[in-house]
Structure 1
Amino acid sequence: MNSPDTASIPLPASTDSVPARPLGDTSAEDPSAQPPQIGLALSAVLLMYTGQMILNPIIAPLSREVGLAEWQVGVMVSVAALSIVLSSQFWGRKSQSWGRKPVLVGVLSLGAAAMAGFAALSWLGIEGILTGTPLWILFVLVRGLVFGVAIAAVAPTVQAYIADVTTSEQSRIRGMAGVGAAQGIAMVGGATLGGILASVSLLLPIVIIPVVLGGAAILLAVRLRPEAKRELIEHPVRVSPFDPRVWPFLIAGFGMYTSLGFIQIITGFIIQDRNHLDGQATALFTGISLLTAGIGMVLAQSLIVPRVSWHPSRLLRVGAVVALLGFALLTMNAGLAILIAAIFLVGLGLGIAMPGYTAGPSLLMDRDEQGGLAGILGANTALTFVVAPTAATALYGVWPLLPILVSVAVMIGLSIFLALHPRFRR
């Protein structure tokens, strides 16, 4: 039986609640067909994002160690996000025409090479061999541009694959929740590993990242089956952001990730400045904070979402309210325990909402639109990080509470939008 919210998103007319037989579902004509490799595809998300998340707890102390200003860190992150915005649709469609294996193996290898270069530059900066503007420009090119293009491909490719191989609303939601759960586990594992290794040396976690990504590329090269040529789509459809099936979800996702983007980049600065910590202690407690956000996200997407069987609209509404409580709690300067609890609530709320954001429009699209849709969802998410980190770090320099208040205001507006727009109402 469908959730009462199902009426808010009219599903395509199909016995399976999706408009076409999904990729890889050849059971009707080939009883010996091998099952889809969703778990292996999710491992690409897990390992790529683990590589990214290892860096998060050390980016603030690293930037200060090599003499970069807060706004320069924000620009680096924003350039990475802009790379994702510009390339996500390309990768989403190419994953359907080239195949998932060549795309995933290729971008994981590219990501490993980029982060190896970033590790070398970090060493040069810490040793004082390369400093100032030249170091910053190379950071932006390697960590921002090249790594951004690489990571842009992973989630859209895997989301389009899941859309191909799932045949009902709830299996689609569970599959998309798996992507978010993999990202949450990466946040937990990456933040923990980054914080622990940084307590030994700021360079150690940076050196580990290309090893993780290179290992992921080898794993998929060996284990992931290539698709048969008949399963590929020669000309996937480019999806418009103004498509009425899509744009309400884009607004919802933009609001969530804008709030997150304002907070994520300044967490290390908040912890260091409110508690007067040195670089290594800041990295450790930033890692713990991001760990709790990841735990909240994993709990939401691996336990709560699969059990409640809510429609995407309800997931978005409930998740937005929970995240809003977390953002509001961050305005209090009441010690590390309250700050960590607030970040946990943010992770929990966004973890509940994210499967609604990705699965909702996917249930409305045809098979040849799934790659383009996954790409535009990824681009929309990344678009928030083009502006938010730079704006957040600039606002933080004016008044440390200001970017947090902006996040709260955005989440209040989003909650109202989700409550009033017909797409998300019963």
Structure 2
Amino acid sequence: MSQLRITQFILMTCIISIGMGQFIVFAVLAPLIRSVGLQEVHGGLILSFSSVIYALSSGVWGRVSSVSGRRRVILVGLIGYCLGTLLFSAVFFAGLQLWMQGTLLFLSLCLARMLQSVLMGATAPAATAYMADITTPEQRVKGMGLLGSAHSLGTILGPAVAAPLILLHLLAPLLAASAMTLLTALVVWKALPGLPSSNRANVHIGREILNTVKSYFDSRYADILLIGVLMFMSYAMSQQTVGYLVQDRLQISPQETATIVAHAFIFSAVFALIGQFAVVAKLRLASNTLLLIGLPLMLVGYLVLLQLQMERDALIAFSFIGFGFGLAMPGFSASASLSVSAEEQGAVAGVIAGAPALGFILGPTFGAMLYEFDEMAPYGASAVLNGLLALAVLRRQISHRNSPTH
């Protein structure tokens, strides 16, 4: 195996580890929230607050990786994720033991998750920028597709690990996620080659935060960034409320709910991998084309959730959502990456990594509020939004074709 393939494999392992951890949290959060006496909107707010921090920190870490080195920043993110997950689990344990309740518990969970987000935001942008560094523009879509596939594999392994561990304790999957990221950090430390930094200037955090905020409004990729953020927002609205929907529709226990949600996420990730390996890697479609196929497929999944009556419906819905997401995500990442020069890949990688977080700022809370209003509202809203996004991508593609520079 060539050094390039080994390096790409290690980068994929980093994304797998983070994906596992995130989807373990998503699988158990809804039943945990109800088990400690909090409401649906509290779960949404916890994710929303932490997503604000993640969106800001990922942009900063992307720029820092250009100065301090990709490998070092990847390690910061992995170790930070490990420690942050332990803290998040400890606060939930205190809630389950009734040592903390109500507002104190909610604020403690928010703080723990936000502290975790400051550091875990380092891994994805640094790994994305590293992949951009070692691929040519012609290889960029495939390289980003590999990272997308790694994320999908992580979302398979995460729920797959969570499903049996949930039977031991609701917090057991979170502890497993912490252990996995620590092991991945050891692999990176031992085996990932360092790359020369593209910029040796000092990093001023305040200035970098300001630059990060400005980078989200860069006219070269502002349109595709908005499409990506809204895609993640619609995804978050459905993903973060499906646990409540399953429990309420099927009238089952928190453990049974978490198991069904884990199975649905596994189906989602399997079909995302199929899309990435069978379509993205093999057909070499343009980035806009991937979005035009992926967004309508996700829309179909949201429509299926509107009719959920049994576990099978959740599995079918997330199969469509996963397949569509598996195409749309690398399409979005490649579109943004190709819009800037090689010297700016660290900065745009932070923006790419921050897009899901921006979508998760409003998505979980908005979805929870819609769910409390009407249990079908989040899925109807997600379907409509994805339809509008597909039209926006089509307009963008037509505009680029008619542009004198294309």
Q: 2:150 maps to which residue?
A: 182
Q: 2:200 maps to which residue?
A: 234
Q: Residue type matched to 1:382 in 2? A: A
- Check 1:132–1:242 CA distance in 2 against 1; reply closer, same or farther (3 A cut): closer
What is the RMSD of the two structures over their aligned residues, measured on CA atoms?
Answer: 1.9
Q: Give the Å deviation of 1:284.
A: 0.6
Where has structure 1 moved over 6 Å in runs of 4 or more? none
Q: 1:8 maps to which residue?
A: none
Q: Give the Å deviation of 1:423.
A: 4.7
Q: Is there any run of 5+ residues in structure 2 with no aligned partner, and where?
A: none
Q: 1:121 maps to which residue?
A: 91
For residues 114-170 of structure 1, what are the alpha-carbon distances to aligned partners after superposition, in whole Å with 9 as ceiling and x for unaligned?
A: 111122222221122222221211111112x1221222222211111111111142x
Q: Give the Å deviation of 1:302.
A: 2.3
Q: Give the Å deviation of 1:55.
A: 2.0
Q: 2:18 maps to which residue?
A: 48
Q: 2:177 maps to which residue?
A: 209
Q: 1:148 maps to which residue?
A: 117
The answer to whether 1:273 aligns with 2:248 is yes
Contact 1:55/1:194, CA 8 A, preserved across alignment: no
The answer to whether 1:351 aligns with 2:326 is yes
Query: Partners of 1:254 and 1:219 in 2: how far apart?
Result: 32
Contact 2:295/2:325, CA 8 A, preserved across alignment: yes
SS at match of 2:215: coil
Q: Residue type matched to 1:418 in 2? A: V
The answer to whether 1:304 aligns with 2:304 is no
For residues 350-394 of structure 1, what are the alpha-carbon distances to aligned partners after superposition, in whole Å with 9 as ceiling and x for unaligned?
A: 111111101123123112211111111222321111111111111
- Check 1:198–1:425 CA distance in 2 against 1; reply closer, same or farther (3 A cut): farther
SS at match of 1:140: helix
Q: 2:159 maps to which residue?
A: 191
Query: Partners of 2:339 and 2:99 in 1: how far apart?
Result: 54
Query: Partners of 1:111 and 1:99 in 2: how far apart?
Result: 19
Q: 1:62 maps to which residue?
A: 32
The answer to whether 1:223 aligns with 2:198 is no
Query: Partners of 1:335 and 1:347 in 2: how far apart?
Result: 19
Q: 1:27 maps to which residue?
A: none
Q: Residue type matched to 2:80 in 1? A: L
Counting only pairs closer than 5 Å after superposition, residues 303-342 of structure 1 correspond to structure 2 as 303-342=278-317
Query: Partners of 1:394 and 1:120 in 2: how far apart?
Result: 27
1:94 to 51, 55, 64: 64
Q: Residue type matched to 1:156 in 2? A: P
Query: Partners of 2:364 and 2:337 in 1: how far apart?
Result: 28
Which 10-residue stretch deviates more, 184-193 or 413-422?
413-422
The answer to whether 1:80 aligns with 2:80 is no
- Check 1:393–1:345 CA distance in 2 against 1; reply closer, same or farther (3 A cut): same
Q: 1:164 maps to which residue?
A: 133
Q: 2:269 maps to which residue?
A: 294
Q: Residue type matched to 1:212 in 2? A: M
Q: 1:247 maps to which residue?
A: 222
Which 10-residue stretch deviates more, 387-396 or 295-304?
295-304
Contact 2:132/2:345, CA 8 A, preserved across alignment: yes
Query: Partners of 1:86 and 1:311 in 2: how far apart?
Result: 29
Q: 2:388 maps to which residue?
A: 413
TM-score normalised over the length of structure 1: 0.87
- The structure richer in helix per residue is 2
Aligned sequence identity (%): 27
Q: Give the Å deviation of 1:194.
A: 1.1
Q: Give the Å deviation of 1:411.
A: 0.7
Contact 1:188/1:291, CA 8 A, preserved across alignment: yes
- Matched residues, number: 390
Q: Give the Å deviation of 1:268.
A: 0.7
Q: Residue type matched to 2:157 in 1? A: G
Query: Partners of 2:110 and 2:392 in 1: how far apart?
Result: 35
Q: 2:257 maps to which residue?
A: 282
Contact 1:53/1:187, CA 8 A, preserved across alignment: yes
Q: Give the Å deviation of 1:253.
A: 0.6
Q: 1:393 maps to which residue?
A: 368
Q: Give the Å deviation of 1:209.
A: 2.2
Q: Give the Å deviation of 1:243.
A: 3.2
Query: Partners of 2:260 and 2:39 in 1: how far apart?
Result: 21
Contact 1:305/1:352, CA 8 A, preserved across alignment: yes
For residues 243-279 of structure 1, what are the alpha-carbon distances to aligned partners after superposition, in whole Å with 9 as ceiling and x for unaligned?
A: 3320121122122111101101001111111111111
